[in-house]
Chains A and B, each alone.
Chain A
Amino acid sequence: MPHVPAFASRRDFLRLAGNGFGAVALSALAAEEARGADALRSPEPDPLAPKKPHFEPRAKAVIFLFMEGGPSHVDLFDPKPELTRRHGQPLPASFGKVLTPMGTGGNNLLASKRTFARYGQSGLDFSDWVPHTARHADDWAVLRACWADGLNHVGSVCQMNTGSVLAGRPSLGSWAVYGLGSENRNLPGFVVLTDGGEPLGGPRNWGTGYMPATYQGTFFRGGPNPVLNLNTPAAVGAARQRDKLALIGELNDLHRRDRPGDTQLDARQAAYELAFRMQATAPEAVDLSGESAKTKDAYGLNDKATAEFGHRCLLARRLVERGVRFVQVYCGAGSAWDAHSDLEGNHTRLCGRADRPTAALLQDLKDRGLLDSTLVIWGGEFGRTPMSEATTGRDHNPYGFTTLLAGGGVRGGAVHGTTDEFGLRGVDGRVHVHDLHATVLHLLGLDHEKLTYRHNGRDDRLTDVSGTVVREILA
């Protein structure tokens, strides 16, 4: 949530309230942008002031397209001819016991029904489920041997977001905002969007755990008012609200007169000012009426299958354009990719939802010169087993799965890591969630071992006691 700095001197709140909100909010916004963040004369450190990274960053912002439920890497990015050949046979005994949540470890192998092809100059493999994403082959770096600790969704989604399968730790986006501050003081520094439902585990996935709530992600609801209680209730109306605010300001001023030097009181009053500015800027940021028909079409807004996710991808670009540091967009929120049965039907539908908007986002960022400074992540909390479940589905697979990265300092066309001949486990170039997180922070100019927060007597990190930057995919 946007945190309110304690200003030593602010414009007269009365005047602000009296002049009508929208206009003042916008002019305040303009003034702030003109002065730059240094002009904020804050008597105490403002936790969201832009901060210097540890080293030169490659990315200024991150868009994490989270395919919730676990997309099947062996049907999308990691073709396995041996799996096709051994279809219907058991996994060789040499693979040992495989623990999965639905107990499918001993089931027979299930060949992919997809057709793979090589794309771009780099010749990256993509299946026919994601033809649009594939056109950007030379922008993507593919991590093919990702692995994680959890077996079930909620813990695994939690780990992909916070590094731990157990709830209570700050999320990746929170660490980014904690480390770098926010460049737009009228919007949250970390925004979460979904294409409908709510991710499993809910707010903990963008929460701050033991850090102050200042750095937490803000869940943007659908519709014109993305933040809870953003609008003045219609029954009250703008004029009454303005008068009410004037009275709050007057009485707070009298209260503060007898209590000089309390920055918390100043900050609380300033919160009302910021709330005003958010009332003006947040609806503008989510208003797509200024976007061209061509853009909307590219994101798939005119197609029922892609409209919801495409809309959120377009919002992600608008937010990044406005200085939001970290945007997370869930595709299939509520575990829609979880194809325990009917993988074909499920992934046809979900890929149909994800594919075009993903490609449009990359293209749009590129066209606007933002891709170089924006890291785009595409992936789920785990992949799926090469063994079948209920003959037509696949179970959870945290042992080896694919995550894609593009933009912001990533070497497009690179492939890192290999899974075994069936795509069950990573065999080399394995990238644990901690390694992925270390890499994301690295691209943002942050050293994951130095970005710490004191908690329970420890300097806690996103990557706990491990994490290695995957240098092989850096540009």
Chain B
Amino acid sequence: MRPFALAVLLVLSAAAPLPAGDLPAEWAYKPVRRPVVPAVLSTEYPAPNPIDRFILARLHQAGRAYSAPADKRTLLRRVTFDLTGLPPTPAEADAFVKDESADAYEKVVDRLLASPAFGERQALWWLDLVRYAESDGFKADDPRPDAWRYRDYVIRSFNADKPYDRFLKEQLAGDELSPGDPDALVATGFLRHYPDEYNAVNLEQRRQEILNDIADTTAAAFLGITLGCAKCHDHKTDPLTQADYYRFQAFFAGYWPTDVAVGKADPAADAKRAAWEQRTAATRAELAKLEEPYRRKESVRQRGRFSDEYAGILDIPEAKRTPLERQLGAMVFKQVDSRSANVSGGMKPDERERWRALTAELAELGKDKPADPPRAMAMTDLGPDCPPTRLLKRGQWNKPGEELVPGYLSAIDDRDAECKPTATTSGRRAALAEWIASPKNPLTARAVVNRLWQGHFGRGIVASASDLGVTGDRPTHPELLDWLASELVEKKWSLNHVHRLIVTSAAYQQQSGAETDDGLFGHYPRRRLDGEALRDAMLAAAGLLNPKAGGPSIFPELPAELKAANWKPSADPAERNRRSVYVAVRRNLRYPLFGLFDSPDRNETCARRFVTTTAPQALTLLNDGIVLGYAKALAVRAAKEDAADPAGRAFLLALGRPPSTEETARLAAFLERHTGKPADALADLCHALLNLNEFLCVD
């Protein structure tokens, strides 16, 4: 830390920062007021970014100053990992070091914000927040083969700098607000990420769990509050009542999961499909006739698992069912529907033989069947009318209390919601989306700018990023938070504007130090890579990274010791080396390296990851065959790129800087004393590089 005298700081205006202790406990529920930017003068930072004026003002009060600026290579590695989740290439580093123009750094920031890798990185924290996964969870953990479209939607949105208000409106009510826009329908996948036990028989309980999940995740992700605490009783500390909770939940009461066609019309494929259908009509008809009695029997058997009350819904004509019966009926039907069940097991031998022949025939005829049209997991309402929402005593699904209508959080806005039903929806989610996206909402902008800050500094201005409430942490810089929030709204909700403000601040460009919890930001907190970035960094250093963007998820190899019935490595090895954000997200089998390095299990919303240090992390980086493979590839690459000094090249590729004289001597001594083949020696050296603190940490 620099002595204080080096930086002469003057606070000229009376707008001294408000100590966090003087904030009202319910500060987050009060309107955002754009504060006056403190007029700090510093001999070192003659024209500070507004962010620095807030940060310096508080540092100054604490008798401290900024640390020295980070050197260019360090800064480049930091900002490149931060914005894109990847290390800079040696060429990028050279270019930046050589660029002596005044705006060299700003140009780098623009380049990174425009890179496709930017959205791929930023998607990660958002996917944590919305508990995104590609399987159901629970016992069956059935795959959700179309879920990835939502992941790509998030990546595209961040890359396009989609205004945040639109981003959130699409996710909450894309079907109501932009019904013709396939992207907005994919966005409603946000409401589909709840873990699902499709074969549950206690349907009302399951329905309530789904609604709880949607309401809790919405409140945490978009509003940054722990509304879920008011499920069983009025919130113990925040101004949130139990009625608020169920009024909020009522916005979703008519939920209706649906899979929608996305993508452009493809007459050629349609024609091909029609031809296939015609060609196979006779075979399929015979098969259906053969299977029919067994399907019926299977349906009856499945139906018998339900209480009469639930099973009986199927006997009520669709048009006569109440909204609740329609929701529950759909849950029963999904389980009773035996159209996709293999019923051949119960057939008589001659039937089964015929069944096999027909199935084989169909497979033969179906060889040129075009793929089904692309579909996405989406959410809409069951219609203009929703099942009633009742306050549930102690949060128990079977203890209903008074009936409630959709309404906003009373501490902020005690009106009932005015919902305008459409022909097919209740209009409720649209009303909620508009309310959350309103510039007047005190929580929305604060919550998201705080998350961006956390992304860049490891901790938010409010450390508890999804709890801005009374029991959460107080903001260390309340005015800065409000200034950033108002700035976001003023700049048409451009997240990139906020990213750019933060990473171009002097605060961000300081030298690093150990992470502290003092909330002063008097140095840049050194941070460990998460598992996703660590894997990408190893692939990048080894020259293996396949930058292909988007599409269905990929399956890298698993460690040999792990069994995995539903994890078949991608057939094309190059596919296995795509970025971590494209690795399949199975709730019951997280990719081991990610789990080891603190990736959440995606069963519920996660606002901030832990950073643990465990022995199994070391064991994996030392002994895992996949990591060894990366090391070997790095060695081969280094030898190819610099035959004269492969060790120095490997060092540069891994760490983004050339080795010092001392380090060069150590590398040489290692190769010298190695008794194996030269190729093995270099591979071992490379493996050591991938294990270094410097490789795993960003200064």
Chain A interfacial positions (CB closer than 8 Å to B)? 1-4, 6, 97, 99-103, 105, 151-155, 166-168, 200-204, 207, 209-210, 212-214, 218, 221, 227-233, 236, 239-241, 243-248, 250-252, 254-256, 259, 261-265, 267-269, 271-272, 274-275, 278-279, 456-458, 465
Complex CA–CA separation, A202 to B466 (angstroms): 28
Question: In the complex, what residues of A have CB within 8 A of residue B387's CB?
Answer: none
- B680 on the A face (CB < 8 A): yes
Q: Which listed residue, A105, A153, A232, A256, touches B623 by the CB 8 Å rule?
A: A232
Between A and B, 14 residue pairs with Cβ closer than 8 Å are A1-B616, A2-B615, A152-B199, A167-B587, A243-B684, A245-B622, A251-B688, A265-B697, A457-B226, A457-B229, A457-B238, A457-B464, A457-B469, A457-B471
A186 nearest in chain B by CB position: B615
B559 touches A229 (CB 8 A): yes
A264 touches B514 (CB 8 A): yes
- B614 on the A face (CB < 8 A): yes
Pick the interface stretch among B91-99, B177-185, B250-258, B302-310: B302-310
B601 touches A207 (CB 8 A): yes
B526 touches A264 (CB 8 A): yes
A-B contact count (CB 8 A): 219
- B662 on the A face (CB < 8 A): yes
A456 touches B615 (CB 8 A): no
A264 touches B613 (CB 8 A): yes
A21 to chain B, nearest CB (A): 12
A228 touches B139 (CB 8 A): no
- B573 on the A face (CB < 8 A): no
Which 5 A/B pairs are nearest by Cβ-Cβ distance?
A: A154-B139, A457-B226, A262-B514, A103-B305, A275-B618
Known A240-B680, A252-B692: A202·B623 in contact at CB below 8 Å: no
B214 to chain A, nearest CB (A): 14
Question: In the complex, what residues of A have CB within 8 A of residue B467's CB?
Answer: 456-457
Most buried by A among B238, B587, B620, B694: B694
- B26 on the A face (CB < 8 A): no
Question: In the complex, what residues of A have CB within 8 A of residue B7's CB?
Answer: none
B592 nearest in chain A by CB position: A228
A200 touches B139 (CB 8 A): yes
- B617 on the A face (CB < 8 A): yes
B588 touches A201 (CB 8 A): yes
Known A264-B528, A274-B615, A274-B618: A201·B625 in contact at CB below 8 Å: no
- B666 on the A face (CB < 8 A): yes
A121 to chain B, nearest CB (A): 43
- B340 on the A face (CB < 8 A): no
Known A233-B628, A259-B526, A278-B619: A457·B613 in contact at CB below 8 Å: no
Q: Which listed residue, B201, B236, B466, B694, touches A99 by the CB 8 Å rule?
A: B201
B404 to chain A, nearest CB (A): 22
Q: Which listed residue, B229, B305, B618, touches A272 by the CB 8 Å rule?
A: B618
Main secondary structure of the interface of B (DSSP, over half): loop
- B174 on the A face (CB < 8 A): no
B598 touches A213 (CB 8 A): yes
B615 touches A153 (CB 8 A): no
- B589 on the A face (CB < 8 A): yes
Q: Which listed residue, B513, B619, B673, touches A227 by the CB 8 Å rule?
A: B619
- B350 on the A face (CB < 8 A): no
Question: In the complex, what residues of A have CB within 8 A of residue B588's CB?
Answer: 201-204
Question: In the complex, what residues of A have CB within 8 A of residue B676's CB?
Answer: 240
Question: In the complex, what residues of B have CB within 8 A of residue A269's CB?
Answer: 693
Known A228-B561, A278-B619: A255·B692 in contact at CB below 8 Å: yes
Q: Which listed residue, A151, A166, A251, A272, touches B201 by the CB 8 Å rule?
A: A151
A104 to chain B, nearest CB (A): 9
Q: Which listed residue, A231, A268, A274, touches B693 by the CB 8 Å rule?
A: A268
Most buried by A among B201, B614, B673, B689: B614
Question: In the complex, what residues of A have CB within 8 A of residue B197's CB?
Answer: 152, 154-155
Q: Which listed residue, A105, A244, A259, A275, touches B619 by the CB 8 Å rule?
A: A275
- B220 on the A face (CB < 8 A): yes
B302 to chain A, nearest CB (A): 9
A150 to chain B, nearest CB (A): 9
B662 touches A254 (CB 8 A): yes
B688 touches A244 (CB 8 A): yes
Question: In the complex, what residues of B have CB within 8 A of residue A99's CB?
Answer: 201-202, 307
Most buried by B among A2, A101, A168: A168
Question: In the complex, what residues of B have CB within 8 A of residue A204's CB?
Answer: 588, 601, 603
B209 touches A166 (CB 8 A): yes
Residue interface mask B454-476, A partner, CB < 8 A = 1: 00000000001011010110000
Q: Which listed residue, A154, A209, A250, A457, touches B472 by the CB 8 Å rule?
A: A457
Known A151-B202, A244-B684, A456-B466: A264·B515 in contact at CB below 8 Å: yes
Beyond A251-B666, A457-B467, 19 extra complex contacts between A and B, CB < 8 Å: A1-B615, A4-B614, A151-B201, A167-B195, A168-B604, A202-B589, A203-B595, A204-B601, A209-B601, A221-B561, A228-B562, A228-B592, A228-B619, A229-B624, A244-B691, A250-B666, A256-B693, A271-B618, A274-B618
